[in-house]
Amino acid sequence: MLRVVIVARSLDHGREVAAPLRQGGLHVVSVCEAEADALTAVQVYRPDAVLLDLGLGRERVASVIGRLHDVLSLPVLLLSSLTEDEVPAAIEALCLGAADVIGEPGAYTPAGRRQAPEEIVGAVRMAVRIGHQARNGQRSAKERTPATGHGAALHKTARPWLTVTP
């Protein structure tokens, strides 16, 4: 079972997010709202991944990502309510090294359906697997996929709400 730490905008919100993820198969070892608590939880519990709430705000998200990468090399996935106002923070966080942006449990996807906890669990598993491959010097499937192949088309359409238009 994968172990995760959730860093949320509030403890109540973190607990709301954690409940369906536990049912989906993740072992939530800690829910934090303060940056210092998150760093301590990562050092103590040594999770497989960190789920970071974009609702914390742009500066706090960037700070947490930077400090987590200083402490331990592990995937940081961004939890989003999938609204357009979170796009700038999501792009900045991805540029800083976040592994992926996923909808919070129950958030509406661009296709108009609710984000299922199983999809979040799948995204965490994928990020952890890619992280292990990178640490072991293996190339990921994404790196092996030609830029013009099916993977490129999927990648461009997977997160339409993150599309940046000039």
pLDDT level of residue 165 (50, 70, 90 thresholds): very low
pLDDT digits (tens, 9 = 90+) for 96-155: 999 999 999 888 887 888 888 888 899 999 999 988 887 777 654 444 444 433 333 334
Note the pLDDT of residue 35. 87
Give the three-class secondary structure for 4: strand
Mean pLDDT, range 6-26, rounded to an integer: 93
Residue 49: closest CA among 31, 74, 71: 74
Q: Report whether 161 contacts 89 (CB < 8 A).
A: no
Which has more confidence, 80 or 159? 80
Note the pLDDT of residue 139. 54
Note the pLDDT of residue 14. 94
Note the pLDDT of residue 81. 87
- DSSP label at residue 75: -
Give me the architecture of the 3-162 domain, per CATH: 3-Layer(aba) Sandwich (3.40)
pTM above 0.85, yes or no: no
In this predicted structure, the answer to whether residue 1 has a pLDDT above a threshold of 80 is: yes
pLDDT level of residue 62 (50, 70, 90 thresholds): very high
Q: Report whether 120 contacts 103 (CB < 8 A).
A: yes
DSSP 124-156: HHHHHHHHHHHHTTPPPHHHHS-TTSHHHHHHH
Q: Report whether 4 contacts 49 (CB < 8 A).
A: yes
pLDDT digits (tens, 9 = 90+) for 141-160: 444 444 433 333 334 344 44
The CA distance from 158 to 166, in Å, is 19
In this predicted structure, the answer to whether residue 48 has a pLDDT above a threshold of 90 is: yes
- DSSP label at residue 87: H
